[in-house]
Structure 1
Amino acid sequence: MSNHKNLRNYLLPLVLGVFMFGFYMLGLREGEGTPIQQEFVVRETVLCGMPFTRLTQENITLRMPKELQSVKPIHVTTDADKCIGKVKVNTQMEFSKSENQTLYYCIQKNAEVSRLRTESLNRLDRSLTSSYYKFLKKKPDAKIVEIGGYVGNLMSRLIRDTGVKTYVVLEPVPSFYKKLTDRIKREALAVTSYNFGLGKKETELTIGIQGDGTSLKKSKGDGASLKKSQGSDKGKETLKIVKVVDFFVQLGIGCHRLDLLTINCEGCEFDVIEMLTSTSLVENIDYIQFQPHNSVFNDAGTYLCLYCRLRRFLSRTHQVAYEYPHIWETWKRKGIS
């Protein structure tokens, strides 16, 4: 009798395990979006095995490069060189077991990107990207940085809704930058603008101009789609890119807090946020608002991995404040009421 009882004790968990595994595999085989799910499970090292950014303390520039010496710290009493020593490198970029489990769940949850984008667009409150931050009116020294200013549409609305007096905007495309600065003058806005973009390394790129869809990612040859510019070289412009960490150190973020960082740069959001989370800089930014761009990638799996990795990085220091998946979302620093 005891032998039968022991056999039952061994067999029951085994049968349940086989059943759960079969149910899981059935779930993978059925429904929309499963090719991406299956590909992720089978080819994890290919899809999400992209190397993490591995900075060392020596990667934090000890002296600002010439291109950034004209950038003014947003706190007038701040010397950027004094902030460098306060910026620490995150030495634990690799995900823990529980973080990897959350990453897998995120991939499966977001497998149907097109459907989720459509749903987000249908319920999107388009004013939210500026109206959400009306509470900043109560803070007389609020500071905002915008990456990817284009021609100033969001800039004007954010300044109107927040009353912010310190606003920094970056726009790397020269023709867009001209329209942006014309608008700043026309509307008499208290804005500091810079004609460069941000990336993991300092470089110059010549890209085809595609209106508000112009993307640095489409010109890198790193698996992203490369759209041909229309006509001759008249449709191309040369852009300057500076290092993410250097720029934020020069702004003085190593010493002081930034109220809002808003990013709409057609794909550069992945590099910007990864680099910020690679250092302690991210801990000094209260709100991070960004628009994730799947359209700049040919490979849906690559986009999903980058998107879910970005969310895992942010979740270490921030939490979701609002989200319209794959359209707009904002994360606020943990501990903010």
Structure 2
Amino acid sequence: MSPIISVEGLSKTYATGFQALKTVDLQIERGEIFALLGPNGAGKTTLISIICGIVNPSGGHVRIDGHDVVADYRAARSLIGLVPQELSTDMFETVINTVTFSRGLFGKPKNPAHIEKVLRDLSLWEKRDSKIMALSGGMKRRVMIAKALSHEPQVLFLDEPTAGVDVELRRSMWEMVRALRATGVTVILTTHYIDEAEEMADRVGVIRQGEIVLVEEKAALMRKLGRRQLKLHLREPLAALPPGLVDPALELSADGTELTYTFDATADQGGVADLLRRLAQHEVDFKDLQTSESSLEDIFVSLVRGRT
């Protein structure tokens, strides 16, 4: 199947001369949850704004299900639901009226059953007649999602969807996003919560200084760029490593009580087995060991600092 979003040679230079995007190429597959990560100022907002038809590109093309976002704006935009980071809606309107109105903006005929389903899925049905200003911050964010889903889009952009909400609400929103993906909706997520991307995303894209530096399946990314560590707690402290144990991947703690062995997540266990053999040969005994591996956050930090 062809990708739902195709970005080719996209660039954006603002009137001030600032180049926000530099020849971005990106393909987003149908029905996936794609996490777009990057530090502040990396170009995330500009990229999303161009895809959603809010900002015009300086060069390149973006197509949504084959529709060019500039040449065929209406068709492209009708396929997209956007949940911005900032809450922006009429605070004096009721929940059900504002969501129904959003559907009408896209020229969709009235569909009370769909609106009810969206509100129920987001636990807003009981609040349907409440004015938005009376809702909690988390409920207001749910209203923004309901508005974005009102016209039955094929693609949903979530810009920092759980910023400022509590942990319980975050998890319930994760469940909602997975349920949307199960119905065939493609979800593009920007977030500063790396655990959110680690929990939800099928693929991860990292943008740095206006360029996409990596796009990878999350599991493959963590295998490819992750690091594992084996930490051994020694029975007797060492003043220094014996010559036969000197290895750039092996580090002795300052107090001589711990050895830390760092290796690639993709490597086989031969290096660990060899280390244990060498320890036995040099009569270095340990009382405990533990392993750890890089999180997506560790990998992300390395990428944005340009170390990989």
Max radius of gyration: which structure?
2
User: Which is helix-richer, 1 or 2?
Assistant: 1
TM-score after normalising by structure 2: 0.26
TM-score after normalising by structure 1: 0.24
